[in-house]
Amino acid sequence: MLSFALAVIWLGVAGSALLAGLEYYLLPLDERAFSDLAPLFAPTGFVGHGMGIVGTALIALGVVGYMARKRLGFLARAGALKHWLEVHIFLCTLGPFLVLLHTTFKFGGLVSIAFWSMAVVVLSGVFGRYVYVRIPKTINGSFLSLAAVTEKARETSQLIAAQTGIPLEELEGVLAPAAAAPRGLGLGGALGFALREDLRQRRAMRDLRGFLQGRRVPGSLQRPVLALADEQRRLRQQALLLHPFQRLFRYWHVVHLPLAIVMFVILGVHVIVAVLFGYTWVF
């Protein structure tokens, strides 16, 4: 629910900001300085400058807030870590988009370095989230062991059998993973396997839906059973990929944080240069 709400807000804010200045952004570069919209949407204009400031503030808030939740003990009860991660991603993708509008899609010099460093951090963050959500965790965000994941998958299978009345042995043939993970998966192999399995999920759920209909499972029961089956498939995939993905996440974390620090240093230099040249917005 939170993810959906944040996605709606993201699209609303980003779409409104883009549409507001779209006429200016579509102008040829050599005509923008003479446009009546330049005082508003140019990088030094009221709206354009403001979006740069707000975007940078959102990025800083997203990074500092999430790091504080992970490292400060007194925040442990301030909501589940996964919700903080969702807010972190929301702020750290909306902020860069507003910064992109601040640049008016024109890059050069220090601005170019600042923007592309930010783009690399955002892309690495998207990749990190893909890996992170595929590592099983407790409600507090701690990683689960392989035994715990396997036990949860077994319990889910038993719950599906109990709800449908179909013998577990018969269900296992439908609920089994689409493919077995190759032995000795490396980091790249694990990532490729996960991507292939994600693409197979829709067909697998369609086959299960047909199986349930063939066994005359009531329609009112099919939706919760399908949800349980999706959870069970996810758990089995996690059991196969647990160790390589945990290693991949550790390596990613070593890279992502330094990239974020470099980004903030370059943004800080950009801000200082802008202030020295007298671009101080409303203050």
Residues 96 and 119: beta-carbon distance below 8 Å: yes
Report d(CA 257, CA 6) in Å as an integer: 24
pLDDT number for residue 66: 84
**Which stretch of DSSP H or E encloses residue 87?**
helix 81-103
Tokens of 37: 């919209």
Where along the chain do its domains lie?
Answer: 2-23+39-140+250-276, 146-241
Say what the pTM is: 0.66
Spatial CA neighbour of 91 closest among 53, 70, 65, 62: 62
pLDDT number for residue 23: 93
For each successive 10 residues of the chain (283 residues), what is the average pLDDT? 87 95 90 90 91 91 86 77 84 90 79 72 76 59 60 73 73 59 60 71 74 72 72 69 68 74 80 76 63
Report d(CA 42, CA 44) in Å as an integer: 5
Task: Using alpha carbons only, give the angle 18, 19, 21 rounded to the nearest 5 degrees.
Answer: 75
Q: Which amino acid is at 244?
A: P
Q: CB-based contacts of 166: which residues, under 8 Å, 6+ apart? A: 160, 215, 217
Tokens of 115: 């923007």
Phi-psi region of 141 (alpha: psi -120 to 50; beta: other; left: phi over 0): left
pLDDT number for residue 142: 54
**Which stretch of DSSP H or E encloses residue 230?**
helix 219-276
Report d(CA 209, CA 219) in Å as an integer: 10
